[in-house]
Structure 1
Amino acid sequence: MTYKILLLSAALVFISSCKEQDQKVAENIETKKNSDKLNLKGTWELVGFYNYIDNKVVDSFSNNTISRQVKMYTDTKVMWCKLLKTDSIEFFGYGNYSYGDGTLTEELEFGSAFMNEVIAEQEEFNFILELTENRFEQIEIDEDGNKIYSENYKRVE
């Protein structure tokens, strides 16, 4: 009788461990599906800004009163343009980008007259990236890695 109980207990432990393993596999598959959805590819519109002090948001403001800015990402390219409501001066940039592990790097090749002056001094722009399915923040950091300022976007397409 004791032998049968021991054998039955061992079988139940084995079945239970298989179910746990199946659950872990299912969770990994679901996590992979969700991470595949999180990508920058598409069109995004700037909706606002955050200012930081000591890595905490201390001020936020919306973008709709000053200008309109759109960013478009393909698999490897980025292009953004800005319309200033008070000025008709062109303002855009184009180049390559990469992201991962919470960072975004944009390497601009060319842009508007003003941006070409900026690009002549600095081609690569590095940000902290906080990305969800339909929103992202690109956060500028100082030389010590502290958050300074962010541009906040919503997915348009």
Structure 2
Amino acid sequence: MKKLLGLVFLMLILVAGTELSSPEPQNNNTLEGTWELVSFNNYDGNNEVTTLPATEGYRQIKMYYNGKVMWTRYVPTDSIEWFGYGSYIATDSTLTEKLEYMSASMRKIANENMEWQMELVFDGDKYSQIFTDEEGNRINSENYKRID
């Protein structure tokens, strides 16, 4: 009986060690994953770009999985809640998010169909979602890094 318990214990250690040492490889060729906002770009229309880092304590996290998107924003100096949930479609150069559920503060500024179409610049562990005007001119962007 002691040998059987010892064998079971040894197998559990080996299985646990294997799971810890060999995680599934991360696919950096997809938007699927968890992202943190690191900076903003402002475009002035004359090919000038101003990059602003996120302020200290500010956190915005986005998660993309199985065609769904969820995001939340924390601003330490602001008691207003910002979050949303919905679906997304990403191509090589575009990102479309359609929210189904969102905070009251987000609902106040949302467009009628709660859909946002953005230019997408994707580079493995970082991406930018770029907002454009009606003529396709860049206005500003949110720039993210992969955290999972």
* Shorter-chain TM-score above 0.5: yes
* TM-score of the superposed pair, with normalisation by structure 1: 0.72
Task: Indicate whether 1:131 and 2:122 are aligned.
Answer: yes
Radius of gyration: which is bigger? 1
Matches within 5 A, 1:50-89: 50-54=41-45, 56-65=47-56, 67-89=58-80
Q: Name the aligned partner's letter for residue 90 of structure 1.
A: E
Distance, in Å, in 2 between the alignment partners of 1:120 and 1:67 is: 24
- Give the drift of 1:37: 3.8
Distance, in Å, in 1 between the alignment partners of 2:117 and 2:97 is: 7
Q: Is there any run of 5+ residues in structure 1 with no aligned partner, and where? A: 1-35
| Greater share of residues in helix | 1
**Alignment length (residue pairs):** 122
Q: Name the aligned partner's letter for residue 38 of structure 1.
A: N
Corresponding residue of 2:112: 121
Equivalent position SS for 1:96: strand
Give every structure 1 segment of 4 or more consecutive aligned residues whose post-TM-superposition deviation is greater than 3 Å. Answer: none
Corresponding residue of 2:91: 100
Q: Is there any run of 5+ residues in structure 2 with no aligned partner, and where? A: 1-26
Give me the CA root mean square deviation: 1.7
Distance, in Å, in 2 between the alignment partners of 1:127 and 1:58 is: 17
* TM-score of the superposed pair, with normalisation by structure 2: 0.76
